[in-house]
Structure 1
Amino acid sequence: MRRIDDRHSRDQHLNFLGNCDPLTGMMNRGRMAEALDEAIIAADREGVARAFVIAGINNLAVVNDAYGFEVADEVIIAVGRRLKNVVRAGDPIARYSGSKFAIILNNCDERELAVAAERFLQVARESVIETEHGPVWAMLSIGAIILPGHAADANTAMARAEEALTEAKRMPSDGFVVYKPSQKLISERSINARAAHEIVACLKEDRFKLAFQPIVDATTSDVVMHEALLRMADARGDMIAAAHLIPIAEKLGLVRLIDRTVTQLTVSTLLAYPQAHLTFNVSGITATDPRWFGQLTEILKAHREVTPRLTVEITETVALGDLDETVRFTRTLRDLGCRVAIDDFGAGYTSFRNLKALSVDILKLDGSFCANLAENLENQYFVRSLIDMARQFQIKTVAEWVETPEDAEFLRQLGADYLQGNLFGKASLDIPWPGDGDGEAPPAETKPETASRPAIAEKSETPAVREEPNARVEPPRPTFEENDEPDMSRLRLAIDALNAQFRRGRD
């Protein structure tokens, strides 16, 4: 008898764990998904609307940090209890995930849903939650969907309710959003998918190239360096600006591969043309990620003979976003012999203390302040202040987006060291230096493939201007070891290596 009782008790416990959340005692996500499928079928059969609601605790991460996970569990239990007390009998409620609860509202149209959502928000904000370590205030956001009109199955309903919840969390507090099909969102996702496909195709087929825009001495107008800007070949083979792909590449994580490609192209250009001095942008993702940034520095370590002719840029907003990592980034590059520039300077809020800590060589003034400068008194004052501040720290300045002789002369008078813009030359695929002709560039070191950002400062050139692929000398690129497969491109190897890294991370 005892064995049978023990087995029965164990079976009951396993059944509970399979269907219920052990912390709150509510049904779990798996059981809720089954109930949601049943509700959608019933709603379709009966012609009566249901609603599916996901309520998320906004500040649970703050509670975790401030009090610890035990107190956060107390908050989850208390919020779950409050919600359960105001849910109608017969409406299923579940702990959906860590800080989220899911509710099915039977016989509920959109007007009734708004009333129910306000009731759920009210029970969370009506009073503090007393815990062992003191009172805690819980704040909710709610995403919901009306069924069966906007979802034919549980997975779709949950995904779209999550989407509405994400939008609700962007609101200041107590956000509530009902899912509505958005043609704009569908279009954006379609564009993202096409752009991702185009990025991967360009990487596999070596269709990314560099264009070069001159940066001149403000006093003499002599070219002192060029900024390397990313270009890609479109379906017709024409070279076009690739800047529109970069935000999507950053969102999808592909910018690391693009970064690596641009670094290799830039280094190979410097190896092939000893007269070249180049500057290029590194993405904030690469610059502040020690693992990926290490890939970039390996390339530079293998070719330290070119680093004195190389300037690496990072935008001011990225620099301020993670100051400690940015300081490490700048010090590492300077130790390798590179110069470091802060791009779009003036767009953020760099303090004197931060500027000193960053230890950079060049400040590139945000082009929006330098364009039409002769006609804008406010920008004149602001640019003068930025140049004076840089001079106090003995940092050189580059004024971008210089389009007119009047602006150029005004910037000279203010004391800018260098000027960049269409007035002095648009970005061009033509190689602006004579070839060396004394042998091939040495191979780049073949470490695990990664990236370092495209030189993508499109600020100084006319957007969406196509450039014809003129006949030109292509600089030799760093090559791989002899035992690499000859029929695979360097970038295909990079993508394979990245995929392998992701697989190892999952394992």
Structure 2
Amino acid sequence: MDRERSLYSAIFIVTSITIGLAIYAVILREQTTQTALNAQSDAYHEMLLAREAQVHFKKQVQEWKNVLLRGHDNKDYDNYLAQFLDEETYVRTTVHDLLQRLEPDSPAHRLAKDFLKAHDDLGAEYRKALMVFFETQTDRHIATDKQVRGIDRAPTDTLDALTDAIKLTGDQKVNDTLARLKTAFISIILFISLCIVLAVGLIVVLTSRLSKEIRFDQVTGFYSRRELTKYLRTVIRSQQSMFMFYIDIDQFKLINELCGHSGADSFLKHIAKLLSPNSHTQCFRSNSDEFILLSSLRNIDDAIRYANTIRENIESSYFSWAENEFSSSCSIAIIEINRSFKSIEDIYSAADLAMLECKEQGGNCVITFSEFNDRIIQRQQDMRRVHEINRALTEDRFTLYKQKVQRIASDKNYYYEILLRLKNPDGSISAPGAIIAAAEKYNIMGKIDYWVLRNTIAYLADYPEEQASFAINLSGATLSDPSCINYLQHLIDTYQITPSRLQFEITETEAVKHLSTTNIILSALRDMGCRISLDDFGTGSSSFSYLQQMKIQNLKIDGVFIKDLHHNSVNQAIVESAVKVAKSMGISTTAEFVETEEVVALLKELQVDYVQGFGIHKPEPLIQG
């Protein structure tokens, strides 16, 4: 883990450096481009000044000639001389401005200074020539011209050289800047390339390490569950026959709690040594305390012998940790993989079912999965039913029916029992008998109870004109969960119904199982104003004394005693006894499975209070239409 963290850190650092260099390269490019543009701009302005100086210097020379050749009278002379002096001043000022912009000690700077000196010398010579011009009476322009002829050549050449030097210097600055940019870019690109190569190398190392961790369990060195899935997929695709040994370490949780994670890992390594693969076996760790072995043994007898050898090796071994020794055992489920398995899920499902069988037998055993094992088939059916229950709850495919419970003395005095039905995918309705048994077995009956409570109470709120009360069956799961009272109170408060319109039926067997919790819940229900009935009385293991403890208000005699009541004197005596005890305790009685008028008449004679069955009222949907 530390190595992985170091690799991740190194990749992060290298990537960060690479990104930083890339950003720096962009910034450098922008800065260098701006520098080059600034150099071009400076060179352009310097060139403008130099060109301007050239133009005005030529005008200065031309104005000098105008003074000599056209300044015959005083007015013209003064005019041309003034223009000459203006041009001379402009040239000097322009070159001075140019000199301030040029880099000191540069060729252009030296040439600008040389020009100013030459320009000053030229000005002095021009002024001397003017003296000659005034002192000469005849052909004075010729005499003056001879004195200054050609003296403007040196300043002109210097100014031309200055212009060329400025252009050359500007071009050089731009080229130098671009060259520096190119050099910097090459260095950055090389460094970025190096970083990329380094990052790729680190990623390859990390990927290789992660790939190994994905393929192999880090504790035992066995193949991982991911590899098991891939291997099984290949087996199914190639239709190979193979034995799968699903090994679960018994009481591993205890080892984990006593020895901690470090000790548990050492224990798993100890087990892995006992499971060391051979030429015909591949080993996989599928879960914390579960291993899978795949072997190409010849037949089921060899597989059983091999599994028992593993079981005995583990059972006879001892694991030492912190000066303590621990023994262990394992449960092994053998699955013969053949063409009957169409998917990996089928194989895993078979393994889970066989392992559950192992655990129900107390562990430390070997179980062979067989499609003809009745208990495994039953478990498969239960698992499918559990799945169907969850789907029905998710898709809202349960529905409610009601059956009238009639007072035997008056057909106007009655209440309804809520019955659960299942809407099948094809639209048909069925009683969920087998599904309910699976729900109770796998502890999801509480979800169904809550669904029934919620939908029944919602119905009472939606149909206030319905004046009858309704009896709802509560399972053992709900009777063992005191929080159900809070849930019921929440529903009553939410839907604003009268609690006295609710009755709750509990079975004799389930009530006795959780008697202390049941009494707490029943007491809370009575305090709310709800009635309590004990259902299926006479078939459980309880005694009449429980009737007092649970303080029920209605006793429902199981239908097994009612169906042939008029032909069975023993059943008549049982019913008569139950009725007498109930009446002595102030408890009303209800007979179930009443189907004929003869039975109704006999029950009336035995003083049963309520009757229920197809002979009284057939179940119908709670919500009609």
> Which residue does 1:482 correspond to in 2?
none
> Which residue does 1:89 correspond to in 2?
278
> Which residue does 1:225 correspond to in 2?
415
Q: Does 1:101 align with 2:291?
A: yes
Where in structure 2 are the equivalents of 1:375-390 lying within 5 Å? 375-376=567-568, 379-380=571-572, 382-383=574-575, 386-387=578-579, 390=582
Unaligned runs of 5+ residues in structure 2 are 10-205
Q: How many residues align?
A: 415
Q: Is the 8 A contact 1:400 1:420 kept in 2?
A: yes
**Match of 2:455, as an amino acid?**
T
Where in structure 2 are the equivalents of 1:456-475 lying within 5 Å? none
> Which residue does 1:395 correspond to in 2?
587
Q: Alpha carbons of 1:220 and 1:68: their partners in 2 closer, same or farther (altered >3 Å)?
A: farther
Q: Is the 8 A contact 1:37 1:153 kept in 2?
A: no
Rounded Cα–Cα distance in structure 1 between residues aligned with 2:345 and 2:622: 53
Q: Alpha carbons of 1:281 and 1:430: their partners in 2 closer, same or farther (altered >3 Å)?
A: closer
Q: Alpha carbons of 1:192 and 1:153: their partners in 2 closer, same or farther (altered >3 Å)?
A: closer
Q: Give the Å deviation of 1:233.
A: 7.3
> Which residue does 1:342 correspond to in 2?
534
Q: Give the Å deviation of 1:176.
A: 0.2
| Structure showing greater relative contact order (alpha-carbon pairs closer than 8 Å, 6 or more residues apart) | 1
Q: Choose from 378, 399, 405 the match for 1:214.
A: 405
Q: Is the 8 A contact 2:371 2:377 kept in 1?
A: no
Where in structure 2 are the equivalents of 1:99-498 lying within 5 Å? 99-123=289-313, 140-147=330-337, 149=339, 157-171=347-361, 174-178=365-369, 180=371, 201-202=395-396, 208-217=399-408, 223-230=413-420, 240=429, 242-244=431-433, 247=436, 255=448, 256-269=450-463, 271-274=464-467, 276-290=468-482, 293-301=485-493, 306-351=498-543, 354-376=546-568, 379-380=571-572, 382-383=574-575, 386-387=578-579, 390-391=582-583, 393-412=585-604, 416-428=608-620
Rounded Cα–Cα distance in structure 2 between residues aligned with 1:232 and 1:153: 29
Rounded Cα–Cα distance in structure 1 between residues aligned with 2:424 and 2:483: 32
**Match of 1:34, as an amino acid?**
E
Q: Give the Å deviation of 1:339.
A: 0.9
> Which residue does 1:51 correspond to in 2?
243
Q: Secondary structure at the match of 2:331?
A: strand
Rounded Cα–Cα distance in structure 2 between residues aligned with 1:84 and 1:424: 70
Q: Is the 8 A contact 1:314 1:342 kept in 2?
A: yes
**Match of 2:355, as an amino acid?**
L
Q: Is the 8 A contact 1:195 1:245 kept in 2?
A: no
Rounded Cα–Cα distance in structure 2 between residues aligned with 1:116 and 1:94: 17
> Which residue does 1:37 correspond to in 2?
230
Q: Secondary structure at the match of 2:540?
A: coil
Rounded Cα–Cα distance in structure 2 between residues aligned with 1:78 and 1:379: 62
Q: Give the Å deviation of 1:168.
A: 3.6
Q: Alpha carbons of 1:150 and 1:425: their partners in 2 closer, same or farther (altered >3 Å)?
A: closer
**Match of 1:340, as an amino acid?**
I
TM-score normalised to structure 2 length: 0.52
Q: Deviations over 1:192-245 (max 9, x none)?
A: 767766665556xxx94543313324x66763433233467788988x555459
Q: Alpha carbons of 1:176 and 1:15: their partners in 2 closer, same or farther (altered >3 Å)?
A: same
Q: Give the Å deviation of 1:116.
A: 1.6
Q: Alpha carbons of 1:295 and 1:146: their partners in 2 closer, same or farther (altered >3 Å)?
A: same
Report which stretch shifted further, 182-191 or 91-100.
182-191
Percent of residue pairs identical: 21
Rounded Cα–Cα distance in structure 2 between residues aligned with 1:208 and 1:153: 34
Rounded Cα–Cα distance in structure 2 between residues aligned with 1:98 and 1:346: 48
Greater C-alpha radius of gyration: 2
Q: Give the Å deviation of 1:261.
A: 0.9
Q: Secondary structure at the match of 1:350?
A: coil
Rounded Cα–Cα distance in structure 1 between residues aligned with 2:323 and 2:551: 44
Q: Is the 8 A contact 2:457 2:495 kept in 1?
A: no
**Match of 1:273, as an amino acid?**
E
Unaligned runs of 5+ residues in structure 1 are 432-468, 471-507
Q: Is the 8 A contact 1:50 1:109 kept in 2?
A: no
Q: CA RMSD in A?
A: 5.1
